[in-house]
Structure 1
Amino acid sequence: MDVTGQFEAEIARLHAAEVPGASGRLRDLFDFLAARGPDAESASQEEIAREVFGQVEADADDATVRVYVHRLRKKLDDHYAARGDAAGEPRIELPSGIYALRLDAGQAAPPPAVETSRQWPFSPRIAVAAIGLIMVAAVLWGMTMSSARNAIWQPIIDSDRPVLLVLGDYYIYGEIDPVRPEQSRLIRDFRVDSEAELAAMMEAEPDRYGYAEDVGLTYLPVATAYGMQQVIPVLAEAGKDVTVIASSELEPDMLNRYDVVYVGLLSGMGLLEEGVFAGSSLRVGESYDELVDRESGQTWTSDEARTLASPAFYRDYAYVSAFTARTGARVVVIASERETGLRGISPIVAGDLDGELAEVADGEAFEALVQVTGQQGADLDDRVILARTR
């Protein structure tokens, strides 16, 4: 039987077993993906929202789609785990990161005498260790390689202040159902950025936040590690005293004692956001996925959320700025709307500047917007959209 035949046969068996349910939205999602076949490109969130959930004006970053895809993936994984099939049996998978069903036709089990590889389960502790290793490697690299001392970094290198490297993080709280704890979940709510704000929302909106609970968690976007890998060698080569904190830990009086370098997404800037954009010719639009020119009204919006899961090219936008705050702190901002932009801009800012960016960075204060072309998270090309003095 060919791949298509095996795929269709396994889909029919899952239907008969009612793995995706006899009816309902989960079954509709399964049928939509199954009808596309085993070799289909990944559907977009917008397409699924429109075709499966009937959302005519679908959001490119649709939470409903992500929740149902996660549920379907778990249903499939639980089914095969419970069935305990032999290694040679076919199975339908919904791989992480794409919205398409795939057939694993199965292979004969390898001889048990030799163990050739081992897959380690992901855990936050491992993620933290990985970021730590990146930081150590970056520092060692900075001690042995010559980093470019371009105009962005020279004021910080010449300063007597230590450097505060601020990483844009995000607060997460738990929603714990005491009756059905298995349905508890972790939530990122843009209205809640700290334990204190969560307590305030629980008091103000008890119906919505009645099951909310602080669980002591924040997270960093993966692209932040790539930014750190570029920035730390520059600071290490200059012999700067660097303290690394999350943006949620930043306090206003720190700008009286430190120069500040921010690395992260626009949405993770926290207390820095107001000061950075108060003196900017740009402003954040209706969401953190867009920046707007205050004078012309022109808008630059990231396409990453819409097309990240597909092989299509998309545009993300990175924002770079350097200025001296009223406290005397030198502030450098390396940020982006989404993760691709941050990965693309970091090596540019840490390297030899040229063109418009080099010219404007020679001034006391500047800002620049860079368009980064991406594909499935990879940064492929970049272009300076604007470069101005502040």
Structure 2
Amino acid sequence: MTINTGLINKHLKKITSSRHFAKSKISCDLLCYLTEASLEGKNPKEFTIGVELFGKKYDENEKQDSNIRVYIHNVRKKLKDYYDAEGSKDPVIFVVEKGKYRVRFDSPKDHRKPVRYVFLVPFLISLAALIAISYLFVQQRTQNNNPWEDLPVWQSFAENEKPTLLVLGDYFVFSGELPTGNTGVYRDFSINSEVEYEHLLDKNPDLVFSLSKSHLTYLSKMAAFCQSHIYKVFAQTGAEIHVKLSSDLQPDDLKNNNIIFVGNYKNMGLFENIVNDINFSFGVGSASRQLIFSNDPCAEIYQPTNNNTKETDYALVINTKGYTGNRFLLFLSTQDIGNISVVNQLTKPDYLRSFINEKSKQLDTESFKALYQVEGINKTDLSFELVKVE
């Protein structure tokens, strides 16, 4: 865009007065310095910034200052937060490019969100499964042959006036240089959101120069298998269902839809607050942290395991009321095998009928939690056992 100095200075003042910058004198001073230098066509170095802005004195051999890099990183983060909030409609966008120390002044049209890409294989599998299912059950739908008619878990979704959204838990990845020397994506099991990624950079500021957020994401095989089974149920009930990734889910979706979530305990996203508000008589933990908490400090903790011979997973099903007369049905596990097995069983009318009849005295079909132990090899379950229901 054509640089309008008056407009730039006007919005610089607005940015530094915002709640994102106002309490950080270093970030304000640094952004003002970089803006002025950029308008003058300069491209300052770390050494220059340290001397001219912060009055530092360096040894003759010092040409870099890691503190300056941290300050720059903080400015980038504050700018992102500013434009995500009060600056969302500004006619000019200040950008400090990674690895550079000058400001670029963009037009909003330069920052239209790119199309979100995901690894396509799971969706291709799901699409093929959906086509096959639709073909096989089209006659059943027209004849109202509904085996779920007297089974409230699925029928409550079919009869609810709100549409149903199947949310598939996708995984957070970030970009960086691979051991091969090429650029690719990393998956760190302990980092499952942008917030946790930012915490990583805060603790390790040098990683700012080797890692970056990626527009990619990915789904495990669990998503394709479970989506196929759930779509089969909805084909039989005659109800509509739509699919969305958990990373794309918005708070309004939780009000306007019935929700079926299939994912990992670690990538619950917006559902984490819902789960935290539920009382459990047991807990579920991994090797690194606890995933499901109980109010009872003496509650038994179930911990999944995975070795070369066998996987043991603890899959949790939560059926509960939503916020606006809608329904939530959550399938959670730490490994693919847990959700694959549980969704497979609970989408069989005979199993669900026996489950409800057997537990009828202690089961409120409108709201219940069921914990299953699943054992198997390579995503194939060898045993399936109900451990807890409440």
Q: Is this a same-fold pair by TM over 0.5?
A: yes
Percent sequence identity over aligned pairs: 25
1:145-191 residue CA offsets vs partner (Å, 9 max, x unmatched): 556412211221110100011001012111148xx982544212356
Report SS of the residue matched to 2:252. Answer: helix
When Rg is computed on C-alpha atoms for both structures, the one with the higher figure is 2
Pairing of 1:1-390 with structure 2 (within 5 A):
124-144=119-139, 148-149=147-148, 150-176=151-177, 182-189=181-188, 192-193=191-192, 198=197, 202=201, 205-281=204-280, 282-285=282-285, 287=288, 291=292, 293-295=294-296, 296-303=298-305, 305=306, 307=307, 310=308, 312-352=309-349, 353-358=352-357, 359=360, 362-388=364-390
What letter is aligned with 2:253? M
What letter is aligned with 1:382? F
CA distance in 1, matches of 2:272, 2:134: 28
Report SS of the residue matched to 1:153. Answer: helix
Gaps of 5+ in 1: 1-122
Q: Is the 8 A contact 1:290 1:299 kept in 2?
A: no
Please give the TM-score of this superposition, normalised by the length of structure 2.
0.59
Change (3 A) 1:200 1:291: closer
CA distance in 1, matches of 2:120, 2:338: 26
Gaps of 5+ in 2: 1-117
Change (3 A) 1:331 1:376: same
Change (3 A) 1:204 1:375: closer
Change (3 A) 1:319 1:196: closer
Change (3 A) 1:362 1:195: closer
Please give the TM-score of this superposition, normalised by the length of structure 1.
0.59
CA distance in 2, matches of 1:164, 1:243: 5
What letter is aligned with 1:174? S
Report SS of the residue matched to 2:181. Answer: helix
CA distance in 1, matches of 2:211, 2:315: 34
Change (3 A) 1:196 1:301: closer
Report SS of the residue matched to 1:160. Answer: coil
What letter is aligned with 2:334? E
What letter is aligned with 1:347? N
1:31-63 residue CA offsets vs partner (Å, 9 max, x unmatched): xxxxxxxxxxxxxxxxxxxxxxxxxxxxxxxxx
What letter is aligned with 2:155? Q
CA distance in 2, matches of 1:362, 1:192: 36
Change (3 A) 1:290 1:215: closer
Number of corresponding residues = 259
Report SS of the residue matched to 2:185. Answer: strand
